[in-house]
Amino acid sequence: METFHRNLEDFFKSKGWYYDRRKNFYRNSGKPLSRIISIEYLGQCVTTIINKDSRLARSTPTTIIKKHYDKTFTDKITPDVYLFCAQATRKIEASLRRDIPGITEKERYHLKFHVVWSAVTLLMGKVDYGLDDLKRVDEAQVDDDLVDRAAKIVGKTSATYRNNDKSVEETSKDQHFAEALRSELEQALAVGVA
């Protein structure tokens, strides 16, 4: 598997991004932090976008590496799709730093991986997209308007689901919330609101 990670590192570097398979190597080399992607972070990105499990990505990033390694780091996923996952997630996180109507700052922080998954789902135009679909997009298609639409759906779902019974942090890790969000996205896509 070392070769796999070295190949990812080389591919990322060829595109001006830095896959930090050797912890802090690029940080110590003075590369921009916004372009350094750790193994754990890439695991969260892949779990969110490819495996469509933003709840797991939010709740237990170290578990992804320990228990879901083979599903997350596999030759079935091409390097360009890994890069898209990292770039799209970083771009959405940056966009979420803005004040966005319909979602609180606390929600933007705790529900960011749900917003990432929702934005990619809206970009794909379907909830059940696959690897082939992801190969046809690039991070340039991820913009503030897309993030705003995704954040609004996540914020609305969070407010409805929580109904003041749960904290935003608890909600972000809850399977039932993830299912409610999926349903909201399906409805939004079906009526063309998203």
Question: What is the predicted pLDDT for the residue at 181?
Answer: 95
Q: 32 pLDDT band (50/70/90 cuts)?
A: very high
Residue of 162 and 108 predicted with greater confidence: 108
pLDDT at 160: 86
Domain assignment of residue 30, given as a range = 2-191
Identify the band that residue 68 occupies on the pLDDT scale cut at 50, 70 and 90. Answer: confident
Mean pLDDT of 58-69: 82
Residue 193 is predicted with a pLDDT of 61
Q: What is the largest CA-CA distance in the chain?
A: 49
- For 111-174, the DSSP string reads THHHHHHHHHHHHHTSSS--HHHHTT--GGG--HHHHHHHHHHHHHHHHHHHTTSS-HHHHHT-
Q: How many domains does the chain have?
A: 1
